[in-house]
Structure formats: structure tokens, C-alpha cells
């Protein structure tokens, strides 16, 4: 019985060391993941600070909408008028139920929301949520340094995920281990 208790005490000490050293090494990464994750979780409740609120157009009937080419032309004319003619379109997010299209640009974390039916510009705003997502999952580093195939993101995600798994297991044992040892008396 004493041998079993000593064995579990040694395991508990080893788990405590792994938990402590892993935590110390990955503290900054976990802090960063936590802060960006919290921000992303609140993005729709920050009143246009992280993600512009989705405005509402006049109709959700796509047959009543202008073509995407016409909408894009109106958006670029608008951007030219506000001094941002040199931006590259990343994607168009169609919100049929809201009657709008969101034109999202790579530069300046910019988003333009346009009424699908008449092309009226409903909102031009900063879209920091995409930047936060790229920071949160490590894609930003791949883009910044031109690392191909998302290699940094894969390594970053694997290290973070495995460390979280290790913390979960060692943390559980640090909580349960002493209880188990008391039963071995």
C-alpha cells in the first residue's frame, strides 16, 4: 500500500512539474488566444467597434436586386469618392435575408454594405474581426512572412491544442490525485 501511495505521489509531482513548466512556456500564447477569443465572442455586441452592424436593405428578393457587377461598380465609385480607390476586393458576403451585400476588402480591414436592390451605400466601416481571427489562429504570421500552406498556423494550432489537452489532463490529476491518495491511506 505504501509503495502504491509513493508511486502516486511521484506521478502527482511529475504532473505538477509538467503543468507548471508548460504553463510558464505558453503563458503569452494562451493570454493572446484568450484575449482574441473574448474579442471575437463579443464582436457583434461592440457597436461597430470590431464588426460593423449588419444594416438592412429594401428587399430580400434576389430577382429585384441589381447584378453583382453593378453593385461592385457602385461600391468602387463610393470608395473613390472617399479617397480609397486602391483597395482589393477579398470577398462579397450576400445577406439575402437582410437585403444587402457586404463587400469586404483586404486592405484597411474595410467593409462596405450596399443595398442589393438599389445599390445605395448603407455603411462603410472597419472590420477588425477578420484581423482578430487571423491573429487568433496564427494565419496573420503566415501572411506577414509569406509562409506557404499555412505552416505556422498548423504548428501554432497543434502546439496550442496539445498544450490545452496537457493542461486539462494534468489539471484534472492535480485536483483528483490528492483525493485518490487520501483513499490509499
Instruction: Give the model confidence (pLDDT) of 78-94 as tens digits.
Output: 999 999 888 999 999 99
Above pLDDT 90, what percent of the chain? 67
- Given a cut of 70, whether residue 1 has pLDDT beyond it is no
* pTM confidence score: 0.78
**Backbone Cα Rg of the chain:** 25
User: Which residue has cell 444594416?
Assistant: 55
Q: Does domain 52-126 have CATH number 3.10.450?
A: yes
Backbone angles phi, psi at 157, to 5 degrees: -65, -40
Which of 94, 88, 129 has the alpha carbon at shortest distance from 114? 94
Per the prediction, the chain carries an average pLDDT of 92
- Residue 8 is predicted with a pLDDT of 81
Locate cell 505552416: which residue? 151
Name, in order, each residue with C-beta under 8 angstroms of 173's C-beta and a sequence gap of 6 or more: 11, 12, 15
Query: Measured between alpha carbons, how far is 132 from 140 in angstroms, rounded to an integer?
Result: 9
- Coil/strand/helix, residue 92: strand
* CA nearest to 70, candidates 112, 4, 119, 104: 119
3-state secondary structure of 59: coil
**Which pLDDT does position 34 carry in this prediction?**
93
pLDDT in tens, 33-90: 999 999 999 999 999 999 999 999 999 999 999 999 999 999 999 999 999 888 999 9
Amino acid at each position: 500500500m505504501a509503495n502504491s501511495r509513493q508511486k502516486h505521489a511521484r506521478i502527482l509531482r511529475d504532473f505538477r512539474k509538467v503543468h507548471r513548466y508548460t504553463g510558464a512556456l505558453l503563458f503569452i500564447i494562451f493570454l493572446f488566444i484568450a484575449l482574441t477569443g473574448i474579442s471575437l465572442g463579443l464582436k457583434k455586441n461592440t457597436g461597430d467597434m470590431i464588426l460593423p452592424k449588419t444594416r438592412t436593405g429594401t428587399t430580400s428578393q434576389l430577382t429585384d436586386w441589381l447584378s453583382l457587377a453593378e453593385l461592385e461598380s457602385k461600391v468602387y465609385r463610393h470608395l473613390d469618392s472617399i479617397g480609397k480607390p486602391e483597395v482589393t476586393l477579398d470577398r462579397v458576403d450576400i445577406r439575402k435575408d437582410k437585403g444587402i451585400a457586404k463587400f469586404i476588402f483586404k486592405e484597411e480591414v474595410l467593409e462596405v454594405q450596399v443595398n442589393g436592390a438599389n445599390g445605395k451605400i448603407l455603411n462603410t466601416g472597419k472590420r477588425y474581426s477578420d484581423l482578430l481571427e487571423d491573429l487568433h489562429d496564427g494565419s496573420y504570421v503566415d501572411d506577414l512572412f509569406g509562409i506557404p500552406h499555412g505552416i505556422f498556423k498548423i504548428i501554432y494550432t497543434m502546439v496550442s491544442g496539445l498544450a490545452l489537452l496537457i493542461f486539462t489532463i494534468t489539471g484534472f490529476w492535480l485536483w483528483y490525485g490528492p483525493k485518490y491518495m487520501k483513499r490509499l491511506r
